[in-house]
C-alpha cells in the first residue's frame, strides 16, 4: 500500500470526478491519502470528501500562504477554533455539488485554468510548490475573538463535554494530556458520515497542520503577514503535537529565519514538493525533524532532484502527488491524480537502487509514523 501525503480532491479540477479519482487511486494501490488544507473557502468541500472516505482520506488543517490577505486574522481564527474542537462543524458544510457556486478558484463554467492548462512546466527548481493559489469567492466572517485566546477558550468549553482530541499517542503537551484518539485513527470499518462532533474527532482526525509556509512567487504585498501567520501556525502545531506540512516558494531565507525563531518548539514535519538542494534539506533539519515530500517533479527529464535524492536518507522520504498539480511523466501537463503515485515511487526506486516494493514499504512506514496513520 502506498500513502499519498499531499493531495487536493476538493480542487475544482478534481472535484467533479473526486469519487472516481479516489477509486482509481485505491485500484492503483494507494490506500491512504492526506488532503492539504487551504482556507475557509475550500475547507467545506475538503471535509465533506474526507467524511465519505474515513480511514482512507485524512485531513490537514491550516491557512495556505497564498490565502494570506487582509482577512488573515479571521481565517486564522477559524483554524484555531477547528483545531481546538478537532473537527469541522458539519452544519457549515457546503455540499460538494454546490462548491463551484461559492467557493474555489473559479467557476466550472468558462473561467479559471483547465486540467489541460496547468502551471507545471515553469517550476523554479529552488521552490517548493506551486500549490494552490488565486482564490475567489466570498470571505466568510468568523468570530473576532483574538487568535491568542481563542484556542484556550474553545478548549475550556470542549474539554467539559468530550474525552476526545486530535492527538497522537506520543503527545507530551499538558493541554491535551487527558485526551487521546490514536486507537481510532484510520478506522475504516464505518464509512458513514460524521453526524456528531465526537464522531468527527474520532473518524476524521487532523493529522497535520498544513499546508502552511511562505510564498513570494506571486508578489510581496503580504510578506510580513505571511511570516506572522506561519509562526502562529507552527506554535499551534507544537501545542497540538502535530507535524507541519511546509509549502515554500522563493522564500527560503525567510523560512529559515522563522524556523530559527521557533527552534524551541521542536518541530517535525515535511517539506512539501521538495525540489531544493541537499544543503537546504540539511539546513532545515537544524531547526527540527523534517522529511521531504517527493512528487512528480522527480520524473521530469531535466530535474536536478534526482542527484539530491541520492543523498537524502530513505527514512526522510515521503511520496506525494499534489494532485491535481504536477503530474509525473508520462502525464506531465495533464491533470494529476493520486493514482499516479506509483509512477513517482518507481522513479524514487530507480534513484535509490531499490525495488518498487521496498520503496512502497519504506515510504508508507515513514508516512504512517510521521502522521500517526493507523
- Distance CA(142)–CA(369), nearest Å, equals 34
Cβ atoms 317, 4 nearer than 8 A: no
Residue-level pLDDT at 90: 58
The answer on pLDDT for 170 being more than 50 is no
Helices (H), the chain: 18-27, 43-52, 72-85, 99-102, 147-159, 197-203, 223-240, 252-261, 278-284, 305-311, 341-352, 356-371
* Bridge partners (DSSP) listed for residue 267: 288
| Weakest-pLDDT range from 151-165, 194-208, 232-246 | 151-165
Cβ atoms 243, 270 nearer than 8 A: yes
The answer on pLDDT for 68 being more than 60 is yes
Return the SS3 of 209.
Answer: strand
Taking only the tens place, the pLDDT of each residue in 308-367 is 999 999 999 999 999 999 999 999 999 999 999 999 999 999 999 999 999 999 999 999
Helices (H), 43-142: 43-52, 72-85, 99-102
Query: What CATH number is associated with residue 265?
Result: 3.20.20.140
Residue-level pLDDT at 85: 83
What's the structural domain count of the chain? 1
Burial of 127-145, coded b for 16+ CB within 10 Å and e otherwise, reads bbbbbbbebebeebebeee
Residue-level pLDDT at 81: 87
Cβ atoms 5, 270 nearer than 8 A: yes
- Distance CA(326)–CA(197), nearest Å, equals 35
The answer on pLDDT for 158 being more than 50 is no
Neighbours of 181 (CB within 10 A): 21
Averaged pLDDT, 208-213: 98
Residues in the chain: 374
pTM of this structure: 0.76
More confident residue, 210 or 203: 210
Between helix 356-371 and helix 341-352 the angle, nearest 10°, is 110
Residue-level pLDDT at 134: 33
Averaged pLDDT, 275-295: 97
The answer on pLDDT for 130 being more than 70 is no
Helices (H), 241-304: 252-261, 278-284
Neighbours of 57 (CB within 10 A): 25
Residue-level pLDDT at 199: 53
> pLDDT confidence of 86, banded at 50, 70, 90?
confident
Residue-level pLDDT at 39: 92
Grid cell for residue 125:
527548481
More confident residue, 61 or 184: 61
For residue 172, what are the domain limits? 2-371
Q: Tell me the DSSP string of 135-171.
A: --S---------HHHHHHHHHHHHHTT-S--S--TT-
185: which residues sit within 8 A by CB, 6+ positions away?
Answer: 168, 205, 207, 372, 373, 374
Return the SS3 of 121.
Answer: coil
196: which residues sit within 8 A by CB, 6+ positions away?
Answer: none
Amino acid at each position: 500500500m502506498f500513502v499519498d501525503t499531499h493531495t487536493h480532491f476538493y480542487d475544482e479540477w478534481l472535484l467533479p470526478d473526486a469519487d472516481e479519482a479516489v477509486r482509481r487511486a485505491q485500484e492503483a494501490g494507494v490506500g491512504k491519502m492526506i488532503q492539504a488544507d487551504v482556507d475557509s473557502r475550500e475547507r467545506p468541500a475538503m471535509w465533506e470528501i474526507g467524511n465519505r472516505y474515513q480511514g482512507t482520506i485524512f485531513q490537514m488543517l491550516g491557512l495556505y500562504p497564498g490565502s494570506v490577505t487582509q482577512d488573515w486574522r479571521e481565517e486564522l481564527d477559524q483554524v484555531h477554533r477547528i483545531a481546538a474542537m478537532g473537527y469541522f462543524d458539519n452544519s457549515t458544510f457546503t455540499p460538494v455539488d454546490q462548491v463551484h457556486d461559492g467557493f474555489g478558484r473559479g467557476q466550472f463554467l468558462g473561467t479559471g485554468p483547465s486540467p489541460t492548462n496547468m502551471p507545471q512546466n515553469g517550476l523554479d527548481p529552488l521552490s517548493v510548490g506551486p500549490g494552490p493559489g488565486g482564490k475567489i469567492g466570498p470571505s466568510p466572517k468568523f468570530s473576532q475573538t483574538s487568535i491568542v485566546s481563542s484556542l484556550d477558550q474553545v478548549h475550556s468549553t470542549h474539554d467539559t463535554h468530550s474525552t476526545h482530541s486530535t492527538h497522537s499517542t506520543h503527545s507530551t503537551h499538558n493541554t491535551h494530556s487527558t485526551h487521546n484518539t490514536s486507537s481510532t485513527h484510520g478506522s475504516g470499518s464505518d464509512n458513514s458520515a460524521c453526524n456528531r462532533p465526537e464522531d468527527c474527532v474520532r473518524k476524521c482526525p487532523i493529522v497535520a497542520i498544513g499546508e502552511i509556509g511562505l510564498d513570494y512567487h506571486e508578489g510581496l504585498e503580504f510578506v510580513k503577514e505571511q511570516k506572522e501567520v506561519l509562526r502562529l501556525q507552527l506554535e499551534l502545531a507544537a501545542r497540538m503535537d502535530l507535524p507541519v506540512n511546509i509549502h515554500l516558494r522563493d522564500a527560503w531565507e525567510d523560512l529559515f529565519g522563522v524556523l530559527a525563531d521557533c527552534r524551541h518548539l521542536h518541530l517535525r514535519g515535511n517539506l512539501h514538493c521538495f525540489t531544493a538542494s541537499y544543503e537546504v534539506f540539511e539546513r532545515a533539519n537544524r531547526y527540527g525533524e523534517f522529511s521531504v515530500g517527493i512528487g512528480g517533479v522527480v520524473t521530469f527529464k531535466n530535474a536536478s532532484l534526482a542527484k539530491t535524492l541520492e543523498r537524502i536518507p530513505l527514512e526522510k522520504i515521503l511520496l506525494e502527488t499534489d494532485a491535481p498539480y504536477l503530474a509525473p511523466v508520462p502525464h506531465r501537463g495533464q491533470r494529476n491524480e493520486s493514482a499516479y503515485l506509483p509512477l513517482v515511487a518507481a522513479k524514487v526506486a530507480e534513484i535509490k537502487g531499490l525495488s518498487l516494493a521496498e520503496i512502497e514499504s519504506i515510504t508508507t512506514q515513514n508516512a504512517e509514523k510521521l502522521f500517526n496513520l493507523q
